[in-house]
Amino acid sequence: MEHTYQYLWIISFVTLPVPMLIGMGLLLFPVSTKKLHRIWAFPSVLLLSIVMVFSTDLFIQQINSSSIYQYVWSWTINNDFSLEFGYLIDPLTSILLILITTVGILVLVYSDSYMSHDQGYLRFFVYMSFFNTSMLGLVTSSNLIQIYIFWELVGMCSYLLIGFWFTRPSVSNACQKAFVTNRVGDFGLLLGILGLYWLTGSFEFQDLFEIFNNLISNNDNEVHFLFVTLCAFLLFSGAIAKSAQFPLHVWLPDAMEGPTPISALIHAATMVAAGIFLVARLLPLFVVIPYIMKLIALIGIITVLLGATLAFAQKDIKRGLAYSTMSQLGYMMLALGMGSYRAALFHLITHAYSKALLFLGSGSIIHSMEGIVGYSPDKSQNMVLMGGLTKHVPITKIAFLLGTLSLCGIPPLACFWSKDEILNDSWSYSPIFAIIAFSTAGLTAFYMFRVYLLTFEGHLNIYFQNYNGKKNSAFYSISLWGKQGSKMLKKKMRLLPLLTINNNERASFFCFFWKKIYQTGGTVRRMTCPFITINHFGTKRIFSYPQESDNTILFPMLVLVLFTLFIGAIGIPFNPFNQEEMNLDILSKLLIPTLSLLHQNQNESVDWYEFVTNSTFSVSIAYLGIFIASSLYKPIYSSLQNLKFLNLVAKKGPKRILWDKIINVIYDWSYNRGYIDGFYAISLTEGIRRLAELTSFFDRRVIDGITNGVGFTSFFAGEGIKYVGGGRISFYLLLYLFYVLIFLLISSSIFSSFSFL
C-alpha cells in the first residue's frame, strides 16, 4: 500500500497529454488533425478512466483504513525559506477524486456527440482535459500555495469554457462577468493565504492548523484576534465567489451561456463544488473562530432561500437549474457552518450526480428543440416554447423526472438522504434556520416540478400564439420557415387555458392566476427539412417535432440515473438489518475520524422509527410543493376550471386583487433576479464606468494638456526667436551676453536677500 501511495502524484497529470497532443497535432498536421477530430475523445476518456480506476482503489483503501497520507518535496531556497510541493490523500480527497472522474468521464462521452458538429470541437476537448487536470490537482494539494495555483487554473478553464462561443455578445459578457466576480473572491483568498503565512510561517495544512489553534488559545490580544478573523474571512471569500454564494452569486446564471456539457461538469458537479471543498479542507481552522462559523451558516441560509426564490420565474431551463445549483450549494455551506461535516459532503456527492443528470437532460432537450427552432438559445432553451415533449423524448423525460424527484428530496432517491440529514441537523443549530431550510425544501420541489411540467407536459407550445382558451387563437407568430411560413390556421380551435404565449407578451407564471407574461419575440432560423411531417387541424402546413437524442447522449444520462437511484446508499444513517456486518453507512466509516461538531456519537446508527419520524415532515413539505406545482402547471388542471370552487377563487374581488399584487411582487422579484444584478450595475458598474471616464478626461485634457502645452509653447517661442535672430552671429552673442547678465543679476539679488536674513 505504501508503495502504491508513492506514485499517486501522477493522478493530477494523467489527463494533461491530451491538450498537449492536440496542440502538437494542430501545429504539425493541422489538416489531418481537424479531419480526424473525433478520435481525440477516445484518449480523453481513456486517460480519465485510468484516473478513475486509481481513485476507486484509493477510495476502497480509505474505507478500510481511514489513514492520511502526505508526501512532500521540499525546495530549499535559503536557510529561512523553502517551497514545499506534494499531495495529500485523505477521505475528503478520495471522495472528490471519485466524483470528478466519474462525472468527468460521462460528460466527455456526452460531449463527443453533443459537440460533434461544432467547429470548436478540438478546442472544447483541450479545455475540458485541462480543466480535469486542474481540478484533480486542486483536490490533491497538500498546502495553500498549491491550492491557489490550481484554483486559478480551474477558474481560467471555466472562463474559457463559459466564453467558448465568444462571438456572441451575451457569451462574452457572461465570461467577463464570471471573471470579474471571481476575481473579487480570488483576491480575498490570496490576501488570506498571505495573512496566514505572516501569522504562522507555514502553508502546510497540518502545521497551519496546529499553529493557528495555539495562536487562538494562547493569545488574548484582541487586535491579533481581529486580524486572524479577517484572514479567515478572506479565505472564505474565495469560496463565496467560486461556489456562487450570496453576494457573489451573480455570475452563475450567466455562465449558462456556455455549452451544456460544461454546465453539467463545471457548474453543477465539480468547479462550484471547489468552494465547498475549500471550506471543508479548512474547517479545522474555521471552527476555532465562532464568528466565522456563524457567518458561513448565515451566508449558506441566505443563499438557500435566495436561489430558490430566484428560480421561480426563470423561463430559460438552464438558468432555472443554475439557481437550483446555487440554492443546493447553500445547503452544503449551511451544513459546514453548523459543523455537520458529514452531511455537507454527503449532499455534495448526491447533488453532483443528480444535478449532472438534470443538466445533461436539459442538453438533450435543447438538442431536440434545435431541430425545430434552429440554433437559437433564446428559443431552444425557453421553457415557454416547450411542453408536450413526453411522447417525443421519453427516455430523456424519465431521466429528467428521476433527477427532479431526487432534488425535491423524494425517497428513496439520492438527495433525499443527504438533504434530510441537513434539515434535521438545522433544528439542533437554530430553529429559525431550520424553518427557512424546511420552507425552501418545499420551494425547491415547486420550482423543479415547474421546470418539469412546463417542459414535458401539455402540448408543444411553440405552435400556438394565444394559448388562453379563446376561439380566435392564431398560429404562433414565430415562423419555422422564414417569412413564407407564417400562416393562420384554417380551423379555429379551443386551447388549454394554462399558458398565454404571445409575440409581444410573456406566458403566465402562475397560469390564470398570473398577470405577468414572458417576452418571446424574434425569428427562427430556416430549417432545411423536418424530422417528422404531419398535417394538423386540416391545414396543409408541415410541422416539425423533436426527436430523441442519440445513444451517445442517452448513455451517460442512464448511468447517472443509476447513481441517482443508488448513491444515497453510501450514507444511509441506520442499520436496516441490525447487524454490524450489514451496516450500509459507508460514508460514516470514511469520515468518523474527521471533524464533526453536531454529531459526537457517529458510531451509533439511527433506528427505523427515529429516521421515519424525522423525515416525514421534510417529505410532506416536498410533496406539498409538487402538488402546488402540479395544480398550477399540469394541463389536466384546465378541465377543473368549471368547478364552482375554482370559479370562486378566480372571481375578481378585493382579496383577489390583493393576491394578484402579492403574486406580481414575487414575480418581479424573481424575474429581475432579486434586483441584485441591477443594483450592482447601477452602484458598481456605472460608478466605475463614470470614474473611468473622469480619469480618461483628466488624463487627456489635464495631463496631456500640460505636456502638449509645454511642447506647443516651446515650438512657437522657438519659431519667434528664429525670425528675430536673422542668422547673424553677432546678434546671437549679444543675446547670449544679455541672458547671462540677467542670470547674474537675479542670482546676486537672491544671494543678497539670503545674506540680509
Q: How far apart are the first and last CA of the chain?
A: 90
> What pLDDT digit, counting tens, does each position of 382-399 carry?
888 888 888 889 999 999
| Residue 640: partners with Cβ closer than 8 Å, 6 or more residues away | 646
* Domain ranges within the chain, ordered by starting residue: 672-723, 726-757
The dihedrals phi and psi of 140, each to the nearest 5 degrees, come to -100, 5
Q: How far is CA 381 from CA 304, 361, 511, in A?
A: 24, 12, 20
Which own/partner contact pairs does 691-700 have at CB distance under 8 Å and 24+ positions apart? none
Sign of CA dihedral 313, 314, 315, 320: negative
The DSSP code for 605 is: P
Question: How many C-beta neighbours within 10 Å does residue 16 have?
Answer: 17
**pLDDT-derived band at 726, boundaries 50, 70, 90:** low
AA identity, residue 380: S
* Euclidean distance between CA atoms 529 and 480, whole angstroms: 11
Position 13 scores a pLDDT of: 87
- Is residue 663 within 8 A of residue 514, CB to CB? The reply is yes
Comparing 332 with 516, the larger pLDDT belongs to 332
AA identity, residue 145: I
The DSSP code for 90 is: S
Position 576 scores a pLDDT of: 52
Which own/partner contact pairs does 678-686 have at CB distance under 8 Å and 24+ positions apart? 680/250
Nearest of 443, 446, 419 to residue 331 by alpha carbon = 419
**pLDDT-derived band at 45, boundaries 50, 70, 90:** very high
Q: Mean pLDDT of all residues in the chain?
A: 80
Q: Which range among 117-121, 373-377, 430-434 has the greatest average pLDDT?
A: 430-434
- Is residue 351 within 8 A of residue 330, CB to CB? The reply is no
**pLDDT-derived band at 757, boundaries 50, 70, 90:** low
* Euclidean distance between CA atoms 189 and 264, whole angstroms: 26
* Euclidean distance between CA atoms 600 and 554, whole angstroms: 43
Q: How far is CA 752 from CA 619, 739, 744, 748, in A?
A: 98, 20, 12, 6
Position 666 scores a pLDDT of: 87
Position 387 scores a pLDDT of: 83
Residue 468 clears pLDDT 50, i.e. is over it: no
| Residue 253: partners with Cβ closer than 8 Å, 6 or more residues away | 314, 319, 322, 323, 673
Q: Give the DSSP H/E element, type plus range, for residue 238.
A: helix 222-242
**pLDDT-derived band at 645, boundaries 50, 70, 90:** very low
AA identity, residue 102: T
Residue 450 clears pLDDT 90, i.e. is over it: yes
> What pLDDT digit, counting tens, does each position of 584-609 carry?
567 777 775 455 555 554 444 556 67
Nearest of 670, 39, 637, 20 to residue 315 by alpha carbon = 670
> What pLDDT digit, counting tens, does each position of 95-150 carry?
999 999 999 999 999 999 998 888 889 999 999 999 999 999 999 998 999 999 99
Q: Cite the DSSP H helix spans in 568-698.
A: 586-591, 608-633, 644-650, 654-671, 676-680, 686-697
> What pLDDT digit, counting tens, does each position of 180-202 carry?
999 999 999 999 999 999 888 88
Query: Across the chain, how many H-helices and E-strands are there?
Result: 30, 2
**Mind spelling out the 3-state secondary structure of 152-185?**
HHHHHHHHHHHCCCCCCHHHHHHHHHHHHHHHHH
The dihedrals phi and psi of 99, each to the nearest 5 degrees, come to -65, -45
Position 181 scores a pLDDT of: 94
Dig out the grid coordinates for 175 from the structure.
465570461
Nearest of 123, 194, 193 to residue 157 by alpha carbon = 123
**pLDDT-derived band at 471, boundaries 50, 70, 90:** very low
Instruction: Compute the average pLDDT of residues 526-543.
Output: 41
At 248, is the secondary structure helix, strand, or coil? coil
Of 540-549, 639-648, 731-740, the poorest mean pLDDT is in: 639-648
Locate cell 407536459: which residue?
457
Largest CA-CA distance found in the chain, in angstroms, rounded: 119
> What pLDDT digit, counting tens, does each position of 648-662 carry?
555 556 667 787 788
> What pLDDT digit, counting tens, does each position of 557-575 carry?
999 999 999 998 888 866 5
Partnered with residue 88 across adjacent β-strands are: 70
Q: What percent of the chain has pLDDT over 70?
A: 79
Dig out the grid coordinates for 755 from the structure.
545674506
> What pLDDT digit, counting tens, does each position of 651-693 carry?
556 667 787 788 888 888 888 888 998 899 888 888 888 999 9
> What pLDDT digit, counting tens, does each position of 64-98 carry?
877 788 888 877 666 666 777 888 888 899 999 99
Sign of CA dihedral 202, 207, 213, 217: negative
Instruction: Compute the average pLDDT of residues 511-518.
Output: 35
Residue 528 clears pLDDT 70, i.e. is over it: no
> What pLDDT digit, counting tens, does each position of 213-258 carry?
888 877 656 557 888 899 999 999 999 999 999 999 999 999 999 8
* Euclidean distance between CA atoms 653 and 659, whole angstroms: 10
Residue 423 clears pLDDT 60, i.e. is over it: yes
Residue 517 clears pLDDT 50, i.e. is over it: no
- Is residue 620 within 8 A of residue 587, CB to CB? The reply is no
